Amino acid sequence: MPEIRKDFQGQTVITTFEMTPATAHDLLEKLEAAYEEVIRHQAGFLGAGLHMNDAMTRICNYSQWTRREDYQAMLRTPEMRERNRVINMLCKGFEPVMYEVIRVLSPETGGISP
């Protein structure tokens, strides 16, 4: 399970998928299958979360990896290249972006963590 921490030393990737309500559940099923059958078995994978908005027009995927290179290697596998072609047909587009955790807000710490 991903854990958002300021001291996280790995790679965080947030991917946003834009789709229509008609394809939302099909896309979600394809993403869940990719994680279950391929991604979770890849070197460096730490965890992920899938989120869908109420209008069923966007899915946000938050994943964490030990290293940036692990994430990139997963994308280059023949299995994921094929799956991403199918996923791309179910949505208007998707964009994975690599992030660094800068601050974490928490009620326990009284606000922003250092």
The total number of residues written for the chain in this structure: 114
H or E segment to which residue 15 belongs: strand 11-18
Tokens at 77, concatenated: 């596998």
Q: What is the pLDDT of residue 111?
A: 57
- Cα angle: 52, vertex 43, 92; to 5 degrees: 30
Q: What is the dihedral of CA 54, 16, 77, 28, to 10 degrees?
A: 10
DSSP 8-state symbol, 40: G
Range from 36-45, 62-71, 105-114 carrying the lowest mean pLDDT:
105-114
Q: What is the pLDDT of residue 109?
A: 61
Span 23-40, average pLDDT:
97
Q: What is the pLDDT of residue 7?
A: 86
Span 31-58, average pLDDT:
97
Q: What is the pLDDT of residue 103?
A: 83
Instruction: Please check the confidence at residue 102 and state whether its pLDDT lies above 90.
Output: no
What are the tens digits of pLDDT across the range 63-78? Answer: 999 999 999 999 999 9
Beta bridge partners of 17: 59, 94
Give CA–CA dist 97/20, Å, rounded. 22
Give CA–CA dist 55/68, Å, rounded. 32
Give CA–CA dist 57/72, Å, rounded. 26
